[in-house]
Amino acid sequence: MNILKQLKAQYKKILLDYILNQNESNLYIGQNLIKQLIQKNVTPEDVIGIHKQAIEEIYEDLPESISHAYDFLIELMVHFGLKVKEHQFLLLKQEEMRIEMDIAAKIQNLLLETTIPTPELLDIGMVSIPKRKMNGDYVHFLHDDENYLGVAVTDVVGKGVPAALCMSMVKYGLDTLGYANSNPSYVLEVLNKIIEKSVDDSMFVSLFYGRYNLNNDIFTWASAGHEPALYYRAKENIFYDLESKGLLLGILPEFKYIQHDVKLEKDDFLVLMTDGVTDFRKLEEFDSRGYIKQLAVSYSRLSAQQMCEEIYKDLERLQDFNLDDDFTIVIIKK
Amino acid sequence: MLDETTVQIVTELDIVAARQLGRNEAKAIGFNKVDQARIATAISELAKNIFLYASVGKIIIKRITKNGNSEKGIAIIAIDKGPGIKDVGKVLDYSPAANNGAGLHAVKRLVDLIEIQSEIGMGTIVRIEKWLR
Ligand SMILES: Nc1ncnc2c1ncn2[C@@H]1O[C@H](COP(=O)(O)OP(=O)(O)OP(=O)(O)O)[C@@H](O)[C@H]1O
Ligand SMILES: [Mg+2]
């Protein structure tokens, strides 16, 4: 209260100075005072009230009509004052939500942490970078013995919290399936049913599931609307697209997914990715898959992990370090 | 002046009458111009809600004191037998994005206390208080 009185006196003095001498420094001092007033939660109508009082004290013979005009302005400014309060309130809310989001993101990262398995005969690498705090991509490996390796690469259509929650369901679906030797078509059919039942209609999940037989090097895959993986056959120096037509998960509960096989040989490798890797919104005409193939071949002497990292760096640079989407790439080398 | 006055809200003009009465009372109690404007604004919102949602009702304006008359204030009570408010907590807690920043949510910021009693199909009582500082 006393501080406010002091500020009012200051206001009057600065106003008087300005009335006598319209120089810039008085205006500057006035603005500094207003900043202090704002900090004390003084509203626009308060400021006009302070101004009116100062004017009435400076001009003792002020016509009453002018005082009325100030009252009119005070009345109207009450609503601006409410807007200011609303704004401050929303800023506080926003900060609260930011803190909650940070915590949620941390929990999500813990829940959806991917450990890359290290089977003796394969070299596996992975990079997964979220665009925002919460990752809409997820990679899940299953490796229970030295016979099979299962890998799922998922992308939830949609971003942020809803996508993250949906992803947790996919993870628990995969955890429940449990065995690395499950058929990819079976895995997709089970997940499809879970998601169809429990997730909002507006939420879609694309998933590429592969199973690597470590005994005979046969890779079996099925896809639910996911970006086709790349298969590099070293002997021919050619890439094949591992396509498979299947609906996104969560659309049709009884959908039958088809699986396919390919046999890997020495120096062959697989590139699994999400569409965040291949979609360059800023470079529409660009043959991104062709470019990724070139990159992959040029880095093919590196370890799988290094390949992923180098490809990420290249694509990030190409898009001015501002990717449009979550970015996930997995490379499996024989 | 009486300790308590009532304005029946039937037409939109009655909203103006309630504002006027509240302002006069606030002035008599000793509120400054800025607080008078705030009190009139709060009354306006309550009266407008009666007019819009309950069609008819009344606004009671009261002088109040506490701590053995050493503190003075004003209370406004808006009473109607209209449809009632479904979720009182929500109405006080947030304003819809499209709102012009007024409403009960804003009234809360203009006064020291707001209490809402409402029952679906029975009516609504809103009580607000503002104390002279
Ligand atoms: N007296 C009342 N009787 C029944 N419902 C009410 C009453 N007062 C408010 N409500 C309900 O509560 C809601 C919120 O009221 P509030 O005054 O906060 O905002 P508003 O009237 O919708 O918008 P604004 O007041 O900004 O024009 C109203 O939309 C209305 O449904
Ligand atoms: Mg209203």
Which CATH number is A235's domain given? 3.60.40.10
- Computed over every residue of chain B, the mean pLDDT equals 92
A150 with A293, same domain? yes
CB pairs under 8 A between A and B: 37
Q: Is B124 in the pocket of ligand 1 (CB under 6 A)?
A: yes
Interface contact B37-A46, CB threshold 8 A: no
Query: What is the per-residue pLDDT for A322?
Result: 80
> Angle between the B12-29 and B33-49 helix axes, to the nearest 10 degrees?
150
Give yes or no for residue B44 CB within 6 A of ligand 1: no
For residue B119, give how far its alpha carbon lies from the nearest alpha carbon of chain A (Å).
28
Question: Would you state the pLDDT for residue A155?
Answer: 92
| A135 shares a domain with A65 | no
Domains delineated in chain B: 4-131 (3.30.565.10)
Q: Residue B18 belongs to what H/E stretch?
A: helix B12-29
Q: Cβ B33–A46 below 8 Å, yes or no?
A: no
Residue ranges in chain A whose pLDDT is less than 70: 1, 159, 199, 281-283
Tens of pLDDT, residue by residue over B96-120, are 555 555 789 889 999 999 999 999 9
Q: Residue B121 — very low, low, confident or very high, per pLDDT cuts 50/70/90?
A: very high
Segment B84-93 shows an average pLDDT of 88
Q: Is residue A103 part of a domain?
A: no
Structure tokens at A26: 């008085």
How far apart CA A90 and CA A306 sit, in angstroms, is: 45
**Closest Cα in chain B, distance from residue A87 (Å):** 10
Do A329 and A207 share a domain, yes or no? yes
Look at residue A24 and tell me if it is in a domain: yes
Does residue A307 lie in a domain region? yes
Same domain for A284 and A149? yes
Q: Is residue A99 part of a domain?
A: no
User: What range does the domain containing A64 cover?
Assistant: 2-87
Chain B residues inside the 8 Å CB shell of A45: 34, 37-38
* Structural domain total, chain A: 2
For residue A153, tell me if it sits in a domain.
yes
Give yes or no: residues A255 and A188 share one domain.
yes
Please indicate, yes or no, whether residues A300 and A167 belong to a single structural domain of this protein: yes
Q: Which of B33, B37, B101 sits opposite A83 (nearest CB)?
A: B101
**Residue A25 counted as domain residue:** yes
Residue A17 lies in a domain: yes
Which of B43, B49, B114, B117 best tests ligand 1's pocket when mutated (most atoms within 8 Å of CB)? Answer: B49
Kindly indicate the confidence band of residue B2, based on its pLDDT and cuts at 50, 70 and 90: low
Indicate whether B20 pLDDT > 90: yes
Does the CB atom of residue B105 touch ligand 1 within 6 A? yes
pLDDT in tens, B58-83: 999 999 999 988 999 999 999 999 99
Q: What is the CATH number of the domain that holds A65?
A: 1.10.1240.30
Q: Could you tell me if A57 and A12 are in contact, meaning their C-beta atoms sit under 8 angstroms apart? A: yes
> At how many degrees (to 10) do helices A44-58 and B33-49 cross?
140
Same domain, residue pair A140 and A12: no
* pLDDT tens figures, A224-278: 999 999 999 999 999 999 988 899 998 888 999 999 999 999 999 999 999 888 8
What part of B 38-67 touches A (C-beta under 8 Å)?
38, 40-41
What residues of A are in the B interface, CB distance below 8 Å? 1, 45-46, 48-49, 52, 71, 74-75, 78-79, 82-83, 85-86
Predicted complex ipTM = 0.87
Same domain assignment for residues A216 and A299: yes
Within this chain, do residues A174 and A62 fall inside the same structural domain, yes or no? no
Are residues A302 and A159 part of one domain?
yes
Regarding whether A214 and A309 lie in a shared domain, the answer is yes
Q: What is the pLDDT of residue A198?
A: 75
